[in-house]
Amino acid sequence: MAPLLGAIADDATGATDLCSVLVRGGMRTVQTIGVARDVPLPEADAVVVALKSRTAPAAEAVASALAALDWLRELGARQLFFKYCSTFDSTPEGNIGPVADALLDALNAELTVVCPAYPANGRTVYNGHLFVGHRLLSESSMARHPLTPMTDSDLVRVLARQTPRAVRLVPHDVVRSGARAVERRLEELAADGVAYAVTDALTDDDLVAIGAACAALPLVTGGAGVATGLPDNIRRRRLLAPVPQPTAPPPSNGPAVVLAGSVSAATREQVRRMAARFPAVAVDVVDPDVDRAERAVRAALGAGAVVVHTASSLEDVARAQQRLGAERAGEAAETVLAELARRLVRDGVHRIVVAGGETSGAVVSALGVRALRVGREIAPGVPWMTSVGDPPLALALKSGNFGGPEFFLQALGVR
């Protein structure tokens, strides 16, 4: 059966976050790494294509989104979703506006909603202003992001800089009145020639109302949060089972390896907690030795699980960056973990947890993984996934900041 929802995500861990929301809503969901036309996909209600287009040149981001759209339409997807970050990560040139413009054109659609709000993660929108926790986006740490500094919190203004089309607000009093009120406002805006309706949203109920109002739109855009309302639209049309489908069983067999390439505070604490219970292998980024790391991991696999990490402290990171420069140090860490993953899978390890967005991308690509069936959640936004192919691998890919201090232990089922 054709997927009911086809989604295009501008980065990999964001795609996984969206998958988690859809699975929670009872949709059988598959994530692919880019377009995977040649891969035989399992039956799915939703297919989420993970791109790496958030900070690519706009023309490249548009081309990859259109290629993904072509494929999702070939698969027969009935509704399209463009997923971006809940902090609206973009530059004055894009890529949210240019990609959304291209998708609207290709779908021959007049209007879509713009809803990055994700109250469960502290992202809310009021009077068109995006808040991160209690602070305006422009006063959050996102204002100093190295690639996409967000120095303006007014989403109508931010998006208007990225598109020639009209952008207008759907204020909170309309959203609070429910799905019908939002739907009517969207119709009015479309009649006025508006292409983008930025929706206020403060609560999960707001997201559900907005999601329900989007039932007939060919294209929905937003963070993972607004997808909360989409499975119910489909269920109302009796196209989806009334009770959530059982998701893929959690993987349980064989030893597991945790590869930590993120150096975020959250991941370092997760590594510390795991290392207190299981063997740990440290890789020196300045002088990486994959053979030695592989031998050390293999010798320790009898314990059932091993954690490999590239930094015990921020001093390790500073030292590596001083010696190699930030870019080469990052590449060195990613390369060694990715090669280690490849060798360990060859040696029979079939359960791998990766910490770090970029690191996850490097590992998945080294393993040649093109598509993943999404299973049960370990922590919000981080599900177990099973790769399509032989052998099927159980993978959990988390962005550095995700998960509580015992995340790795939870993933391994020992907490």
Where along the sequence are the contacts to ligand ADP (CB under 6 A)? 261-264, 285, 310-311, 316-317, 320-321, 329-330, 333-334, 356-359, 399-400
Give the shortest CB-11-to-ligand ADP separation in angstroms. 10
Between CA 353 and CA 398 the distance in angstroms is 8
Q: Which is nearer to ligand ADP, 155 or 308 (CB)?
A: 308
Q: Which is nearer to ligand ADP, 55 or 264 (CB)?
A: 264
Residue 368, Cα to own-chain centre: how many angstroms?
19
Between CA 58 and CA 80 the distance in angstroms is 20
Between CA 338 and CA 310 the distance in angstroms is 12
Between CA 380 and CA 265 the distance in angstroms is 18
By DSSP bridging, strand 112-115 and strand 123-126 are unpaired
Q: Which is nearer to ligand ADP, 5 or 311 (CB)?
A: 311
The letter for the amino acid at 349 is V
Task: Please count the other Cβ atoms lying within 10 Å of the Cβ belonging to residue 55.
Answer: 17
Give the shortest CB-362-to-ligand ADP separation in angstroms. 8
Q: Which is nearer to ligand ADP, 33 or 320 (CB)?
A: 320
Q: Which is nearer to ligand ADP, 116 or 357 (CB)?
A: 357
Give the shortest CB-311-to-ligand ADP separation in angstroms. 4
Q: Is the peptide bond between 95 and the residue preceding it cis, with omega within 30 degrees of 0?
A: yes
Between CA 391 and CA 1 the distance in angstroms is 25
Phi, psi of 130 (to 5 degrees): -90, 130
Q: Which is nearer to ligand ADP, 97 or 288 (CB)?
A: 288
The tokens describing 321, both together, are 């960056």
Q: Which is nearer to ligand ADP, 248 or 396 (CB)?
A: 396
Give the CB-nearest residue to ligand ADP. 400
Give the shortest CB-316-to-ligand ADP separation in angstroms. 5
> CA dihedral in degrees (179, 183, 186, 188; nearest 10)?
-130
Give the shortest CB-335-to-ligand ADP separation in angstroms. 8
Between CA 26 and CA 247 the distance in angstroms is 8
Give the shortest CB-12-to-ligand ADP separation in angstroms. 10
Between CA 362 and CA 325 the distance in angstroms is 19
Whose CA is closest to 136, among 118, 119, 149, 123? 123
Q: Which is nearer to ligand ADP, 3 or 223 (CB)?
A: 223
Query: What counts of helices (H) and strands (E) characterise the chain?
Result: 14, 18
Give the shortest CB-359-to-ligand ADP separation in angstroms. 4
The answer to whether residues 185 and 170 touch, using CB atoms and an 8 Å cutoff, is yes
Q: Which is nearer to ligand ADP, 363 or 393 (CB)?
A: 363
Give the shortest CB-358-to-ligand ADP separation in angstroms. 3
The letter for the amino acid at 194 is V
Give the shortest CB-364-to-ligand ADP separation in angstroms. 12
